């Protein structure tokens, strides 16, 4: 077995703050949105927590962005520039997730600190981090102070439109969370990827390195 350093400390700290923050946002968001069905904490408390956690996640996002923009680790989010190779690598990964993993086949992607994600993950994380997260933050910020941002809200179509977009992002992130929880169980043990995100080291067995 070989250990490969995959997750630098700043990334691990960002990840766990993000994970806890999003769970908090989902929990308080459900409380706010479905007050008649869910009453775990007072409504006002849920709103205050939702706002504070939101600002923490915004700050955390910019720390993540700064880390990757100003270090050589940005390569983990850069796709293969050769279209033919990118398609071939993506198709191999699709086949692995579709049926190969159930047949005990080897994962075609072998992570390193500069090439951590497979082509499908790169595409997904670019969409999530560079599109979905900013949309969620902007719509949440507008709803945080409707009076202050009334002109921007009207520009985007009104409170109902902004609120609908924010809720749609909530649904997207709930789906992403479920998919993420499934994918983290696909290591050589059920907890291998979680352990790697705690220690920084991914354990590669002989079969993984072939």
**CA angle in degrees (0–180, nearest 5) for 134-9-130:** 15
Return the biggest CA–CA distance within the chain.
Answer: 60
Average the pLDDT over 185-204 and give the result. Answer: 87
The pTM (predicted TM-score) of the whole model is 0.86
Structural domains in the chain, CATH included, are 2-209 (1.20.950.20)
Tell whether the model's pLDDT for residue 147 goes beyond 80.
yes
pLDDT at res. 210: 41
Please give the share of the chain, as a percent, with pLDDT higher than 70.
96
For the chain, the first-to-last Cα distance in angstroms comes to 12
Per-residue DSSP letters for 80-96?
PS-HHHHHHHHHHHHHH
Decide if 203 contacts 188 (C-beta within 8 A). Answer: yes
């Amino acid at each position: 077995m070989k250990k490969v350093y995959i997750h630098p400390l700043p990334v691990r700290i960002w990840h766990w703050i993000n994970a806890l923050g999003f769970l908090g946002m989902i929990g308080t968001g459900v409380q706010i949105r479905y007050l008649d069905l869910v009453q775990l904490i007072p409504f006002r408390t849920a709103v205050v927590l939702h706002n504070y956690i939101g600002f923490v996640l915004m700050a955390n996002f910019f720390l993540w962005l700064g880390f990757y923009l100003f270090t050589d680790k940005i390569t983990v989010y850069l796709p293969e520039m050769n279209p033919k190779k990118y398609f071939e690598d993506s198709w191999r990964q699709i086949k692995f997730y579709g049926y190969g993993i159930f047949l005990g086949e080897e994962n075609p992607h072998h992570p390193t600190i500069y090439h951590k994600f497979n082509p499908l993950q790169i595409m997904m994380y670019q969409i999530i981090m560079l599109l979905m997260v900013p949309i969620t933050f902007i719509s949440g910020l507008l709803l945080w102070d409707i009076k202050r941002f009334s002109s921007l809200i009207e520009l985007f179509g009104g409170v109902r439109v902004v609120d609908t977009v924010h809720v749609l992002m909530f649904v997207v992130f709930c789906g992403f969370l479920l998919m993420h929880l499934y994918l983290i169980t696909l290591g050589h043990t059920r907890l291998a990827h979680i352990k790697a995100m705690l220690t920084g080291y991914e354990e590669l067995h002989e079969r993984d390195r072939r």
